[in-house]
């Protein structure tokens, strides 16, 4: 019973994690950024939305891992 609830929670967290990753803006210009093509990447400061989305991604990733481990422990 609790494993089924955790599986549903795991699916919701997974969808939210995918959304938070896709909503982030690109950080680098690839290889050209290291040779002077992307000066804004080194000296520019990210906006608040990027900061919130990166923190949300970290929190969702950790919670996804913990719920997945709890499901594995309950079903084993």
pLDDT tens-digit readout, 15-64: 999 999 999 877 665 555 555 555 555 555 656 888 888 999 999 999 99
Give the start-to-end residue ranges of the domains of the chain.
Answer: 1-20+47-76
Does the pTM exceed 0.85? no
Q: Which residues contact 16 (CB under 8 A, 6 or more apart)?
A: 60
Phi, psi of 3 (to 5 degrees): -65, -35
């Amino acid at each position: 019973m609790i494993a089924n609830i955790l599986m549903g929670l795991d699916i919701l967290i997974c969808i939210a994690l995918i959304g938070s990753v896709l909503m982030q803006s690109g950080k680098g210009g690839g290889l050209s950024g290291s040779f002077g093509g992307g000066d804004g990447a080194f000296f520019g400061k990210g906006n608040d939305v990027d900061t919130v989305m990166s923190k949300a991604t970290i929190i969702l990733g950790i919670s996804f891992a913990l719920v997945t481990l709890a499901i594995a422990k309950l079903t084993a």
